[in-house]
A and B are shown apart, each in its own frame.
Chain A
Amino acid sequence: MIQYVIRRLLQMIPILVGVTLLIFFLFTFFGEDPARVALGSHATPEKIAALRAKWGLDKPLIMQYLQFWREILTADFGRSFVSGERLSEMFKQGALVSLAVTMPPFIMGTVLNLIVAMLVAWYRGTAFDRFMSVIFTACMSVSFLVYVLLLQYFLAYKLDLFEINGFIPGLKGLPYLFLPWIILMIVHFGPDVRLYRSILLEETKADYVRTARAKGLSEKQVMFKHVLKNAMIPVMTYTVVEVPFLVMGSFVLEKYFSIPGLGDLLVSSVNTGDFPVIKGVTIMIAVAYSLFNLLTDVLYALVDPRVKLS
């Protein structure tokens, strides 16, 4: 197991080299001159040249690329062009805020949706099941933005149940997160429950289910022991791929609730051409994605005995 994890971590190195090369060349050959962007359109050529020298942009490409790696390895991506803040600080802050927005509803939502899906699958074919399908379809046909605007209007503005606008990092910001959590859970409710329900029902057609019934097991044991454990494999496939993106936060929610997460940071830096930020975030996503892939595989091995980590 540990050997496997180490080997997988080593395998991440070539992937990261590829990603860095890609980012490096895209920014070097297709991006604008960062110094020019940073200094604005009125800067004199001398000033630009001076800044280029300061940032090492006049050095040979290979040196610049190695410099990029040093930034990655030390997790120090320099400073933002725009605000001058240290990027490592900004990322840490942003990622924590983003996770605070996305992680709790992801965990609560997944558990809750799985429970609802089991209920619906248990009562499959009944009026309850049909009623719930209508609800899911209705939930799914409303767009994310509509939820944001409607819920903000009714729950926060009209009924004054939730705080919006004014988020501050730390525990004091917690009340501002409740409504975003609810929105994220509602948005995932329809599609997730529908998916889990169909995964569970697909499993009930398997031969081993007939065997379990032929043994005289109760329908509860069949569904919640035999079917559920098998269904966890595809359920995991669908949920774990979302995990790396949780770090990125929800750009829409961060915008509408003025929460300074990573999603918000990335979008504003694209607008202002803040290259170090974009570079840093891209690398972070690549690393997070590889790490969570590894986590997925390890989780698989825990659930599915047929999967061997080797």
Chain B
Amino acid sequence: MSNFSSGDAVLKVEGLVTSFRTDDGTVTALDGVGFDIGRGKTLGIVGESGCGKSVTSLSIMGLLPSGVGRIDAGKILFEGKNLATLPEEEMRDIRGNKIAMIFQEPMTALNPVFTAGEQIIEVFMTHRNMDRSAAYKAALSMMEMVKIPDPERRLEEYPHQMSGGMKQRVMIAMALACKPAVIIADEPTTALDVTIQSQILRLMQDLQKDTGTSIMFITHDLGVIAEMADDVVVMYAGQVIERADVVTLFDHPLHPYTKGLLASIPHVGQHRDKKLSTIRGSVPSLMNLPAGCRFYGRCPYRQPECEQTRPALESHKGAHEVACLFAGRIDAGEIKPNYEALGGE
């Protein structure tokens, strides 16, 4: 029933451990993260703020703040290379060329003192060794591709002269410039208003169809995941706690955290069980993680074993994987949620 991680993966992440040196000690932001991105597919990554989504993308890009963040273990396999250990020089050939990134903040992600054109042209000049006039023509066709009206004029404009949606189109044009195999989109539409958001999502879907690019789509909006993703990875406190194809995940979530997340999306005309509508409590601090399951403190299904035993990500049915000791029994209805144990309303 699940077709997750069909053999043809462009990018494979395995057991990724990334940590940051901070004034209060070392923070392990990612602890054994793994997933595959299928060719031409969109992988959605969801999770609450601070669970490590952006750190995952920066680890893949080799853009962790130098001297502060580093990959301690794990592999990032792409075109036969392990990006986790690839020298900076080779990494630079991949960035913006074979793996490109779209950031959340279109307001600040573009350089305010260079024109949109200059910022796209740069990509072609860096990776395609084009001269300026060839790069200009290429940039112009990118602007047309992302459906920016009046592209000649827009190329000469500075970011502050553009709307948020327009800037994000420029970002997308930049990302697609070298026809990358993978685009990492870190909450590309969060900062935009709803109508612009759906335009940008539509544009990304259309471009994906045309170019066959794979997309790693980071968001905490499950609605967007449902619309965009083929496969989904759910992250919690630096770990992957569930992965499945999108239909399976929405129809049949296994992890109590995923169940909670899905229950918190409002459905039209549905009377919601108020107790299920939010996940109470907050993510544990990465400085002070529990020995067992990281969701223990907030889990309505928790059992005594969960406090000390750390669940591994294991296959449930086919490619549907979940990191919960009792996923099977919860799924079979043998364990009922107990909200009172988590403290009253």
Contact = CB atoms under 8 A, between A and B. Distances in A.
A166 interface: no
A88 interface: no
Nearest to A214: B101
B103 A216 contact: no
A125 B67 CA distance: 9
Contacts of B103: 207, 210-211, 214
Contacts of A215: 95-96, 100, 122-123, 126, 174
Given A305-B160, A306-B158, A213 B112 contact: no
Report the interface size class on chain B: 20 to 34
A49 interface: no
Interface in A205-239: 206-208, 210-218, 221, 226, 229-230, 233
A210 B65 CA distance: 10
Chain B interface main SS type:
mixed
13 contacts: A207-B108, A213-B63, A214-B96, A214-B101, A215-B96, A215-B123, A216-B97, A217-B122, A218-B92, A218-B126, A221-B122, A229-B114, A306-B158
Interface string A108-139: 00000000000000000100000000000000
Given A216-B92, A216-B126, A211 B67 contact: no
Contact of A216 (B93, B110, B115, B158): B93
B94 interface: yes
B94 A229 contact: no
Interface string B138-180: 0000000000000000000010100000000001001000000
A216 B109 contact: no
Interface of B: 61, 63, 67, 92-97, 100-101, 103, 105, 108-115, 122-123, 126-127, 158, 160, 171, 174
Q: What is the interface of chain A mostly: helix, strand, loop, or mixed?
A: helix
A306 B160 contact: yes
A-B pairs, 4 with minimum CB distance: A216-B96, A215-B96, A216-B95, A207-B108
A274 B72 CA distance: 74
Nearest to B113: A229
A303 B112 CA distance: 11
B111 A211 contact: yes
